[in-house]
Amino acid sequence: MANKFAAQARERKVRVLATLGPASATPEMIRKLYLAGADAFRINMSHGGHDDKAALVTAIRALEKELDRPTTILFDLQGPKLRVGTFTDGAVHLRTGDPFRLDRDPAPGDQHRVQLPHKEIFQALRPGARLLLDDGKLVLRVTDVDEDRVDTIVEVGGPLSNRKGLNVPDVVVPMAALTEKDRKDLAFALEQGADWIALSFVQRPEDVAEARRLIGGKAALLAKIEKPAALDRLEEILELADAVMVARGDLGVELPPELVPPAQKRIVETARRMGRPVVVATQMLESMIQSPSPTRAEVSDVATAIYDGADAVMLSAESAAGSWPEEAVAMMNRIAVSVEQDPGYQARLHFTETPADPTTADALAEAAGNIARTVSAAAIICFTLSGSTARRISRERPDVPVLVLTPSQATARRLGLLWGAHAVHTRDVASFEEMVGKAKRMALRHKIAHAGDRIIVMAGVPFGTPGSTNVLHVVRLTGQELKGHGA
C-alpha cells in the first residue's frame, strides 16, 4: 500500500521542506510528516550532535526504501553566528540613552560593558553603525571604535542576557561564511550523503565559491539570503549557487520589517528568472508551534509565496519543536493545494517573466509548455542525468505535471526542492524507441496521464550525455503500454 501511495505524484507542484528536531526525531514521526506532505527534510546543524543527525539520516533513508521514493535531505550549516559574552549576574538591563561598551576582555560583563569575542567586527565598524542584540530587541549606535573596543549609545534598551546574538546590518563583516564548526559539520553531512547543503549568512559570492570548493560536487548548494549585504550582490551569488533561500529570520532583524516583503519578492523573482530553485522560510506557520491552527495572516503569507512561484515553502520550529508537527505539514500541504486549484494561479505565476537562454535546451523547455497548452497534453516527461533538463522545464512553470526520469539516484533526490518535478530513479534508455515506450509506461504507472492522453517527451541524444537536450516528441497513450513490460 505504501508503494502504491508513493508511486503517485503529489497533488501540488510547490514543495514542502520540513525541519526535523525534538518533536519529529523518531522514524514514526518522520514517516507521518512525509505522508502529510513533506517532500524534503531539513537537518539544522545549529543544535544537537552528529550522532543525533546520523540517526535522522538513517530514518529518512529507511523511509525512502520503504516507499520507493527518492527523498531529499538538506543539511543547514549554522554559519558565523555572532554572540556577546556572559554577565556576572547572568543578565543586565540596558537603559535607553546610556553608554555601553563591547570589548575583547573575556571577564564577565555588567551594566557598562560585555565581551564581544569576534575581532573581525572591530575592524569593520564605523561610528554611526547600528548593532542589534537579541534578534533586534535592543539597538546600539556606535560612537567610537578601535581594535579592542566599541563604544555605543543604547538607542533601544531592554534586558540582555548571556550569549545573546548580535547582528551588524550596516557593514559587511570580513568573516568567512564557514566557521571551523561548519567545516566539520560539512564533512559530516557529505559523509552522510547529504543531497543539499545550506550555507548560512552569505554576504558575497566568495562565500559561495569557498563552500562549492569544499563540497566538490558531492551535494547541491543552497545560499541563504539573510544579510542585507547579500541583496546588493544577489545575481552574483545566484550565479554560483544551485538554489537560494529567503531566510526571513535574520533578514527581518537586519532590515526594517516593511522592507522584508519587497526583498522576498525580489529574491524569488531573480531566482526564477535565473532558473534557480527558491525556498521561502521562517515564521510561515509560527503560531502552530503551540496551536493546532494557524492565523489567517500566516495562511495568507504562505499563499503569497506560492502565488509568487516559490519552489518550496519551509517549516522551521513548527515541525522541529512544536506541539503539532504533523498538523503543520498537513496545513502547509492544504494551503498549497488550495492555491494551485485557484483558476487565477497560473496567470499569477507568469507575472514573473522567465525568458529562455539562447540554447537549444532552453528553447525546447519553453516550447514544451506552449505545446502542452496548445494540444492539451496531460504531462511532460523528461529524461535527465544531471537534472538540468528538469530545472529548465520547471523554470517555465508549466500547468501540467512534470515526470523526471533519471538513472542517477543523487539527481532524483536533489530534485525534491524543484517546483513541479516528480522524480523517479530508473534505468536509462539507449534508443529513441525505448525512450518513447518508457515514457508512456511511466506516465501511466505514476498516474500523471491516462489512456487517450497526449504527453510531451524531452531528452538528449546521444542518451546518457549530460546537457544534450535536443529532442521534443509528442505522443498519445493507448493504455496498452503497461502490459508485458518492466520499468
Q: How far apart are CA 448 and CA 10, in angstroms?
A: 10
Active site annotation includes 83: yes
Active site annotation includes 95: no
| Residue 431, Cβ density class (10 Å: 0-12 exposed, 13-18 middle, ≥19 buried) | exposed
Distances in Å between the Cα of 360 and the Cα atoms of 389, 421, 461 are: 11, 21, 12
Q: How far apart are CA 342 and CA 324, in angstroms?
A: 27
Residue pair 231/209 in contact (Cβ under 8 Å)? The answer is no
Active site annotation includes 282: yes
Q: From the candidates 31, 53, 113, 224, which is the catalytic residue?
A: 224
Residue pair 136/167 in contact (Cβ under 8 Å)? The answer is yes
Can you read off the three cell numbers belonging to residue 456? 510531451
Q: From the candidates 83, 141, 149, 183, which is the catalytic residue?
A: 83
Residue pair 437/431 in contact (Cβ under 8 Å)? The answer is no
Q: From the candidates 12, 13, 31, 42, which is the catalytic residue?
A: 42
Residue pair 314/308 in contact (Cβ under 8 Å)? The answer is no
Q: How far apart are CA 60 and CA 215, in angstroms?
A: 22
Can you read off the three cell numbers belonging to residue 162? 548571556
Give the DSSP per-residue string, 49-98: -HHHHHHHHHHHHHHHHHHT---EEEEE------B---BTTSEEEEPTT-
Rounded (5°) CA angle 357-475-370 = 35
Beta bridge partner(s), residue 87: 109
Q: How far apart are CA 268 and CA 211, in angstroms?
A: 22
Active site annotation includes 181: no
Q: From the candidates 71, 152, 270, 282, which is the catalytic residue?
A: 282
Q: Chain centroid to CA 319: how far?
A: 15
Q: How far apart are CA 23 and CA 326, in angstroms?
A: 10
Q: How many CB atoms lie within 10 A of CB 182?
A: 23
C-alpha closest to that of 227 among 290, 305, 285, 175: 175
Q: Which residues are catalytic?
A: 42, 83, 224, 282
